[in-house]
Amino acid sequence: MSSNIDISVVVPSYNEDESLPELYSWIEKVMQANNFSYEIVIVDDGSSDNSWKVIEALSQKNSQVKGIKFRRNYGKSAALNVAFEAVQGDVIITMDADLQDSPDEIPELYNMITKNGYDLVSGWKKHRKDSFIKNNTSKIYNFFAWITTGVKLNDMNCGLKAYRKEVVKLIEVYGEMHRYIPAIAKWAGFRKIGEKVVQHQERKYGVTKFGIERFINGFLDLLSITFVSKFGRRPMHLFGALGTLMFALGSMLTCWVIGQKLYFVYVLHERMILVTEQPLFYVSLVAMILGTQLFLAGFLGELLSRNSPDRNTYLIEKRLNS
């Protein structure tokens, strides 16, 4: 169902009071030039500067500017998730508040969603204005994200993205999973994901929030989202398989140790050290114990999954005669 708002622009902001007025003016200029009906949702993620006062002033100036303020810094994922619940536009555009994303990209992103039928379009900062370290860690991150998620994008973590309204209303972004929204959308059934080369501006105000911990956390989140998406509803398929493999390996090693002992004693009639004195015996014992524990972990995970409140929550696209 179409709303009266063409575009919702979502701007997560943390200590960006200097850039917000300029970003607002730039967005407003683009919207008026293209006759878009719009709203701007700015999420103040627990800023310690004057960001909220700036947002209040912008909202008084233009009622289409809406603000959400967190009591403390929860992170970009939380900001996006709360904003996605609030937006009303047919197309949602996300961009960072630091002026490195260009609002001039909005019309073409909007057309790719409405005219070309994309569910999600991710920006690609092909010519980045960042440091050498940030540029190269980004390339490594995108390579592993492609291999792990199967979503081939050159810049999955680009803050400038466009979404069909249905996408943001049906996905959940938590932790630091904003980096993997295209993968989350794909696993939710939105498979038409595109990419567009976008301008990347040099930072004009403030300092970057990038740190080495973001790269480490991003890698851990990648492992987490891969596991949850593939085995969240069927943990036994992973833990059970690993447990069975470990137990079988331990059992074979135990049979080998015992068989070797019997062969030396009853066939060759030679004395041999005790089975319990052989290192291989303890390797096999540990493998069997780990196998049993992994299998039980899968069994318990399966019980928890089957009793989860959202176990039978499925995304139904259409119904007939109901």
- Structure confidence by residue, pLDDT tens digits, 81-125: 999 999 999 999 999 998 889 999 999 999 999 999 999 999 988
Shared domain for 92 and 220, answered yes or no, is: yes
Per residue in 292-316, pLDDT (tens digit) is: 998 888 888 777 766 655 544 444 4
Shared domain for 126 and 266, answered yes or no, is: no
Is residue 247 included in any domain, yes or no? Answer: yes
- Full domain range(s) for residue 261: 236-306
Identify the weakest region by mean pLDDT among 40-49, 101-110, 253-262.
253-262
Cα distance between residue 234 and residue 67, in whole Å: 40
Shared domain for 140 and 31, answered yes or no, is: yes
> At which residue do the structure tokens 């972990």 appear?
297
Report the candidate in 38, 162, 40 with the shortest Cα–Cα distance to residue 94: 162
5 pLDDT band, cuts 50/70/90, is very high
CATH number of the domain within which 162 lies: 3.90.550.10
Cα distance between residue 276 and residue 188, in whole Å: 52
Shared domain for 78 and 195, answered yes or no, is: yes
Cα distance between residue 305 and residue 215, in whole Å: 30
Give the pair of three-digit tokens for residue 267.
Answer: 């066939």
How many folded domains does the chain comprise?
A: 2
As a 3-state breakdown, the chain gives helix, strand, coil percent values, each rounded to 5, of 50, 10, 35
Q: Beta partners for 93?
A: 9, 162
Is residue 316 included in any domain, yes or no? Answer: no
Is residue 213 included in any domain, yes or no? Answer: yes
Identify the weakest region by mean pLDDT among 52-66, 139-153, 216-230.
216-230
| Cα dist from 286 to 80, 166, 245, 247, 259, whole Å | 45, 49, 13, 9, 19
SS3 for 141? helix
User: Are 133 and 175 in contact, with CB atoms under 8 Å apart?
Assistant: no
Cα distance between residue 188 and residue 143, in whole Å: 22
Give the pair of three-digit tokens for residue 97.
Answer: 């508040």
Shared domain for 193 and 241, answered yes or no, is: no
Shared domain for 164 and 290, answered yes or no, is: no
Shared domain for 263 and 207, answered yes or no, is: no
Question: Which of the pair, 76 or 260, is modelled with greater confidence?
Answer: 76
What is the per-residue pLDDT for 214? 62
Question: Which of the pair, 112 or 204, is modelled with greater confidence?
Answer: 112
pTM: 0.71
Question: Which of the pair, 124 or 175, is modelled with greater confidence?
Answer: 124
